[in-house]
């Protein structure tokens, strides 16, 4: 049920979109098509050579069509991450 997302509202969430990008931000709202309002958001860009790069973005509406995963972020754990030491392949886009 879409209403399960209710418990994530006003919490930090990590969204993986179908083009393989990762957005982090505060979930401010959503609707029945999983269009999402993400406030104070940033994108995490993964790379195998340099660490994770964070791009500040601000207020976003992400269209539900492109949302693959919405995950609740454990903020304590997330704050302890040393992003500059994390190296990873970027995700591939979803193949339709």
- Binding flag, residue 20, another protein (CB under 8 A): no
The residue with tokens 């995490």 is: 44
Among 39, 74, 75, 78, binds another protein (CB under 8 A): 39
User: Pick from 92, 75, 65: which is nearest to 27 by CA?
Assistant: 75
Interatomic CA distance for residues 96 and 76, integer angstroms: 36
For another protein, the closer CB: 51 or 57: 57
- Binding flag, residue 58, another protein (CB under 8 A): yes
Interatomic CA distance for residues 77 and 1, integer angstroms: 27
Among 8, 44, 52, 66, binds another protein (CB under 8 A): 66
Residue 25's Cβ-side half-sphere holds a number of Cα atoms within 13 Å equal to 23
- Binding flag, residue 44, another protein (CB under 8 A): no
Chain residues in the site for another protein (CB under 8 A): 17, 19, 28-31, 35-37, 39-40, 57-63, 65-66
């Amino acid at each position: 049920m879409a209403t399960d997302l209710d418990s994530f509202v006003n919490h930090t969430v990590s969204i993986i979109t179908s083009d393989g990008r990762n957005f982090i931000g505060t979930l401010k709202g959503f609707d029945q098509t999983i269009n999402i309002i993400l406030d104070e958001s940033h994108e995490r860009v993964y790379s195998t050579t340099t660490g994770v790069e964070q791009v500040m973005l601000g207020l976003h509406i992400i269209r539900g069509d492109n949302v693959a995963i919405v995950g609740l972020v454990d903020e304590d754990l997330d704050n302890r991450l040393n992003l500059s030491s994390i190296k990873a392949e970027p995700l591939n886009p979803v193949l339709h």
